[in-house]
Amino acid sequence: MGVGKLTPGVGPRSPFIIQKQPVKSQQNRKKIDSPDVLMSQTPRFGQKTYFYKPLLKFAGNGPSKYGSPQAVFQTIGEASQFIEAHRQSLGLPGALPSQQNALTPLELSCSTSNLFYKREDLTATHAYKVRGAFFCMTKALAAGYKDFLTVSTGNHALGVLKAAEILHPHQVQIVVPEDTQARKLEKITAQIEKLQGMRIQASLVRHGKNFDEAKQWALTQSKTAPEEYFLDPYNDPWVVAGQGTIGLELYHQLQPILKEQAIQEITVIAPVGGGGLLSGLSTGLSMAVHQDPSLKDLKLHFLGLKLANLNSPLGDAIRVGQIPPENQQLLDHFGAKIQKISDDEIQEGYQGAFQDLKTPVEYASGATHFPVEHVAFCQPSPQRLVVCIISGGNASHT
């Protein structure tokens, strides 16, 4: 359950001073963001990078198409550069001061010391998915692809369409299942119409009763069009690297607290469907900590919340049956624990998050608050920081 003691390298410090006591009002809630997204050792595009410690290797699970954790981390560094270069387009105007180099804010709880929310609902598409979609499309276009096919229950599709708005591919086709939430479907349709007005060939196909059926159909279609890039929502190394930029941002955004307080542990809680979010961010944060000698005794814990009921009306954003082996391999390597969560637990977690944030978010996002009250290593303390990943805000009740 966690990385345990890590052997690290060097990373820059953030000058921001963080209030130690809980913030009393929504207006005064502290937003914490580092002026540096990338560590000094994080690989820069076209630049040779040196690491101070031996490469980490997977333990006994065979090779991965993603490469070693070190290789994934290097790609996360590259993704951070691309995302930073387009932060004004990918971020939500007003969510973050323009001089701060992070895509989304890290927000201190109004009621609980050392509890934080990573506000991925405050991207341009109101979900973290735009990170992986944008970086993957950038890399695929550079590799010569012009046409894209993807499948989604909503947030990934919005991320792909936003990426297309910025990058201008020739064609984008979105496949969604029949049970796609109405509000997300409306947003997808509106964005497709916008792209069509930009003379980008964009289309929507509804197929299958659920996500798994829709994805199987889309994969079959992609085999008949080898010139088309299938932009997988979670089982693609470029997508995972894009989501991994959240981990790098967390490393920098938490630096002020780690500098001021005697923190011994950090726990990160995230919703899990196919595992792209948690496998990416656990790699980004763990490897960043691994490079920092001042954090050699810091323990990291990662908890993923997966639906106990795949037909849950509350979990449309994470209705995925299985975590693919490549993502599971990263999760295992960094000690992530996966816990099934029921509808009642989702409801309870959502209510806790809503009372704290004073903002409606997706149920899967709000569910991350549930372990804060019920799981020992997820409870904030003077020695433990806890971060809930608010993965999205595109819901019918928001």
Domains and CATH numbers, the chain: 31-126+237-390 (3.40.50.1100), 129-230 (3.40.50.1100)
If one compares 39 and 94, the residue with the highest pLDDT of the two is: 94
- Model pLDDT, residue 100: 53
Task: State residue 39's pLDDT score.
Answer: 32
pLDDT at 52 over 90: no
Degrees, nearest 5: CA angle 218-219-222: 85
pLDDT at residue 16 greater than cutoff 90: no
Query: Taking all residues of the chain, what is their mean pLDDT, rounded to a whole number?
Result: 85
Q: For residue 24, what pLDDT is reported?
A: 36
Cα 186 to Cα 192: distance, rounded to the nearest angstrom: 10
Mean pLDDT of 130-149: 97
Strand partners, 267: 301, 386
* 73: enclosing H helix or E strand: helix 69-85
Do 248 and 281 touch, CB atoms closer than 8 A?
Answer: no
Other Cβ atoms closer than 10 A to 325: 15
For 313-335, write each residue's pLDDT tens digit.
999 999 999 999 999 999 999 99
pLDDT score of 163 more than 60: yes
pLDDT in tens, 339-365: 999 999 999 999 999 999 999 999 999
User: In angstroms, how far is CA 64 from the centroid of its own chain?
Assistant: 20
Can you give the pLDDT at residue 22?
37
Q: What's the pLDDT band for 398 if we cut at 50, 70, 90?
A: low
Q: Using an 8 Å Cβ cutoff, are 249 and 37 in contact?
A: yes
Q: Given a cut of 60, is residue 27 above it in pLDDT?
A: no
Burial of 65 (0-12, 13-18, 19+ CB in 10 A): exposed
The pLDDT tens digits for 64-104 are 689 899 999 999 999 999 999 999 999 987 776 554 568 99
pLDDT at residue number 64 = 64
Instruction: Give the pLDDT of residue 113.
Output: 96
Share of the chain above pLDDT 70, in %: 82
For the CA atoms of 274, 215, 226, 232, the dihedral, rounded to the nearest 10 degrees, stands at: -20
Q: Give dist(CA 394, CA 356) in Å, integer.
A: 18
Percent of the chain with pLDDT over 90: 78
As given in the structure block, the two tokens for residue 385 are: 């920081």
pLDDT at 62 over 50: no
Amino acid at 175: V
pLDDT in tens, 191-225: 999 999 999 999 999 999 999 999 999 999 999 98
Quick one: pLDDT at residue 154? 95
